[in-house]
Amino acid sequence: MTLACRYLQRALHLDTSSLRTHSFLNCASWTPAFMHSLHTRPNMPPCDFSPPKYQSMPYNRVLEIHKQHLSPVAVEYFQKPLLLHQGHMEWLFDSKGNRYLDFFSGIVTVSVGHCHPKINAVAQKQLGRLWHTSPVFLHPPMHEYAEKLSALLPEPLKVIFLVNSGSEANDLAMLMARAHTNNSDIISFRGAYHGCSPYTLGLTNVGTYKMPLPSGMSCQSTMCPDVFRGPWGGSHCRDSPVQTIRKCSCTPDFCQAKELYIEQFRDTLNTSVAKSIAGFFAEPIQGVNGVIQYPKGFLKEAFELVREKGGVCVADEVQTGFGRLGSHFWGFQSQGVLPDIVTMAKGIGNGFPMAAVVTAPEIAKSLAKRINHFNTFGGNPMACAIGSAVLEVIKEENLQENSEEVGTYMLVKLAELRDEFDIVGDVRGKGLMIGIEMVKDKRSRHPLPADEVRQIHEDCKDMGLLLGRGGIFSQSFRIVPPMCVTKPEVDFAVEVFRCALIQHMERKAKGK
């Protein structure tokens, strides 16, 4: 079903029932004096899909197996983790039949919708033809995909290395940078997330991913040019419909914050690395750190400084690529830069394990001279068939355009909540990659305590909305729905978030 047809369908229906079985908490219309109480709940938009009844393991048995046999690292959301059973486009269903609007997309991975019918059909067809060969044999899906992907990238980014995950892609990009430059030092931003493999841990600068053992040698961090939480920033800095509420002396065509952050970057190059470096990694917008946007023009100047030091510039498009930002297919295009290497994963396969590194021929040849790079599963027939289908769906259903239109609509609505609630410090983002930073109050900008953020998160889930979390202090909500999301669903999500904020304020007022 096309996106236009789905909009029309939802415009003609009223939400008279819900598949959800548990009750919603009442929400009041909050004012600073708590004068009004409407006691209504947001109506969940209709969904044209009903899942089959869950008939697998009992919930408690799942928890037992998880505790006994899976990683002890606690990563599950919510006090009582969700046991998911079925997905359909932007919706998820748990084992009890409860329906949720998915605004986290499996950590920014489901790009065109859960179980998209075209993707399913292509996967099933390829499953019955050829699963796996390895790169020592040729097969059409790999070459068809390479042709389609390369057409979406500017010259000279035309050589594709197919791998399986974002960490693996960034591992390979690090190796490429060092092989090509004969240098070792690589720079990345504080707050950056580029993977959790032993190699990429050096690039990742989020405290929970650091350990007191050697890893990721010759990696240096530099100040993140965060115009909300950093030392400089104001009301003209970001490429976004929504700016910070900080005041500054900048003008629309001159950003003082950018100049000051560039001086910090230059200082890193002059003091913390060798005279010649291997490269610089940057997400066009930081994802795990809470959707951090840099001042306009910053990356362009930073790339120039890196190249003066002999380094290559790597754009990590694992979360920003494939049209999610709306205005451009790739995040680096929105920054006005041309990287030497691009890494991509997550949305590339709509949830199927797949990733890629794309670079120029001369850099690819430098790697080939140094190592016989090989990847058993990279470019396997299943992944490539699915990857091609994802590209086709993005184009056929105008999902990049939808990301811009619906994302801008959502940003403006969320900015209204920022103006209404003192604990909503910042709303930022571009397209369907949005961050909401929670604070104790706007004046101090101190992070809202993690337990309070967790409770707001929990309340949203109880009303049928799944959000992501992020930020150095886990103080931000990450909003990255499948790109097929519609405006009525945004209206529901914004109202749910508003209700959760109201519940939080009422708890605070009662001293809880």
pLDDT given for residue 452 in this prediction: 97
298-308 and 256-271 are packed helices; what angle lies between their axes, rounded to 10 degrees? 20
Instruction: Find out whether 393 and 381 touch, Cβ atoms under 8 Å.
Output: no
Q: Is the dihedral of CA 449, 455, 458, 464 positive or negative?
A: negative
Strand, coil or helix: what is 281? strand
pLDDT given for residue 6 in this prediction: 52
pLDDT given for residue 254 in this prediction: 82
Alpha helices in 91-131 (DSSP H): 105-108, 117-127
In 3D space, the residue among 69, 73, 52, 72 whose CA is nearest the CA of residue 61 turns out to be: 69
pLDDT given for residue 18 in this prediction: 36
CA dist list (Å): 449 to 114, 437, 505? 33, 12, 14
Q: What is residue 272's DSSP assignment?
A: T
CA angle 346, 301, 470 (to 5 degrees): 35
Please give the helix or strand (H or E) that residue 202 lies within, else none: none
Q: What is the pLDDT along the chain (512 residues), one digit of tens a residue?
A: 555 445 444 443 333 333 333 333 333 333 332 333 444 789 999 999 999 999 999 999 999 999 999 999 888 899 999 999 999 999 999 999 999 999 999 999 999 999 999 999 999 999 999 999 998 999 999 999 999 999 999 999 999 999 999 999 999 999 999 999 999 999 999 999 999 998 999 999 998 888 887 777 899 999 999 999 999 998 889 999 999 999 887 777 788 999 999 999 999 999 999 999 999 999 999 999 999 999 999 999 999 999 999 999 999 999 999 999 999 999 999 999 999 999 999 999 999 999 999 999 999 999 999 999 999 999 999 999 999 999 999 999 999 999 999 999 999 999 999 999 999 999 999 999 999 999 999 999 999 999 999 999 999 999 999 999 999 999 999 999 999 999 999 999 999 999 999 999 999 998 86
